[in-house]
Structure 1
Amino acid sequence: MAVKNVYKQSESSASCSAIYRQFGTWLKCSCCPVSVRIAIWVTGFIIALHIFVFNHLPLSGSQLIRQQNMRIRSKRVSMPHHPDTIVATFGEDSWKARAKVVEAYQEKVLKEHAAKNNNDIIIRNCPYPSLAKLSEEQKMPRAANERHMVAPPQGGKISLVCCDTTKGTFTIIAHDKWAPKGAARFLEMVTSGYFNTGVPMMRCIKNFLCQFGLNASKEKLKDFDETIEDDPNWLPEGPTHRENALGIKRFAQGYLAYAGAGKHSRNKQLIVALTPNGPLAGGSPWEVPWGELVGEESYRTLSQIYTGYGEDGPKQGMLHNRGMTEDMKLEFPELDYINYCELLDEHDYGDI
């Protein structure tokens, strides 16, 4: 009975000295035989020694982990959202690293949101933040020269668009006066985010043109299927005007127009001239230019677009019905894409 009481006392974390005093009291019991008193004394000493060793010797690694986990579970019960519990669970260093990642992401989102609100550039490597950064010739070509066979239409609204591609950036000036319906459709595609899901440059023929406009995303396939009316052609038509006496060809390198299949057939398929071209816009009303590339960076990008597939790139029918499937991506691994486009600036030319 005495031994049971002593063990119960040890479980309640009594000090070794207190246990020893208790055993001393029992050892003075005159009614107990000497052998019993000695056994009681030895048992008490062993229990006291066990408590001392348990409380003072260093714990092993696994014991420390178990002890820490017990403390964590205890805190979760009493304070389930206490920060110390989270820090203890992940470790202080890992928690700080996680916090930095979250903070960096939040800062990026806030900056992009602020850029949107302030009409700042969010496209990587776009060289021109506004129309004011362009030269007068880039904003409004005024005369026939080594690039333009005839002076393009003057004045009107001009829009600055920057497109990111797999080979670099394109800077595009869309001219309302050149082709109002064609320019308006292109700008509608840009501002709707149509290009931001990826548009394969599906038909790129060396020294001729590159055709694009069918979206890689299956969800975007029906967008801009409706056709628009043709714009009047401001370039001289007919086979006698493919090239002038100075060797300037009718459809300049970097001119942008629509691919079509007859009158009033324009919708979302576009072409850009990879080199100066004589036959284009020679009588096909859908090929009237509505804008052009500007800046050295744009023409450097244009020269790097992959043309190895030529007429044997992705089939238009399959693209129109399915988008750019994984099988098609594997079949045409060198194909280039427009990743996204952004309208950066827009003014009437007389207000710049």
Structure 2
Amino acid sequence: HAGSGQSVARSHSTDPSRMIDTLLRRAEELGVSVEFGIRAVQLLVEAEAVVGVLCEISGALVEVRAASVVLATGGFSRNLELLERFVPHMANAIHGGAVGSEGDGLLMGWKAGADFRDTPYVKGTFGIYPGDDPREGGTGILAVYKGAVAVNFSGRRFVDESLPYKALGDACLAQEGHLAWQVFDQQTMDRDDPDVHIYWFSGRLATGLLETADTLEELADKIGVPADELIRTVEGYNAAVRGEHLDAFGRRTLSGTEELPTELSRPPFYAHLSGSSVLATYCGLTVDPETRVLDVYGEPIPGLFAAGEVTGGFHGNGYVTGTSVGKSGIFGRLAGLAACAYASDAAHV
């Protein structure tokens, strides 16, 4: 959607778990052996070429020899030590991401001499409910793209809510407590879309993650912000929507270049506590167009390939919705083809 930095809508919403199930079924049909419960510990290097992986199997270290190796281990959003070392500006963000995103592939790649790039581009995603609340499924909501405003603990807006959600995440981290409230009315709630989790507002209401009240004054009391400031903020926002003056933060659309903002005036009113979460890390090992991992001198490390979140050089300063999935699928295929081609060369077998 446009709120992720697209000038026109280009994303196709889908359930990633269905994509994984489809790929696993196809792998099984092709006779691919997928082994679980085995931890890769270190790359095996001989004569400056990667020739396999040292694995931990049932507590024992076992060498698994291979003509080529593909690192597809994801990022390091769950490794607090690596986050502190490489992206200290995310120290106050929520640490989410997939369980197991500990940076194992990065560490193995570094030990083998791999280069690393794009640490300045790691940003948090706005809209995630803070804490380890089991009701937070990991996607958060982005009611701001359907009509909500974002206010801090003083009841004031602090950003143009139509900006990409990574920019919203940065703005949120700069607020008191590093959190904000998405405040909206019934008109926004009616734009609920259960098929797109970030717009599934009724789901949040059903699980109790939304505060609700018949008036802004009552809502302010529930969320602990000054009622006079929240009312003043919403009245000023509504006046800008009516064209009585320019928006204080330059907002002209709901999301990107799409849809005009609407007044927040139809009760009941809702509020969702939102933080900025590191769901993924947009930096990683340096690879070339053939997905070969490069060393610090820009030379390919023989036998080593990488794809997905473990690699850098793809996203840049922005993030377009769905590109983590696309990056993994497209470059995963390319890495597989390249690794097979390398392995099939008799000189490397």
- Whichever structure has more helix as a proportion of its residues is 1
- Whichever structure has more strand as a proportion of its residues is 2
TM-score scaled by length of structure 1: 0.22
- Structure with greater contact order relative to length (CA < 8 Å, sep ≥ 6): 2
TM-score scaled by length of structure 2: 0.22
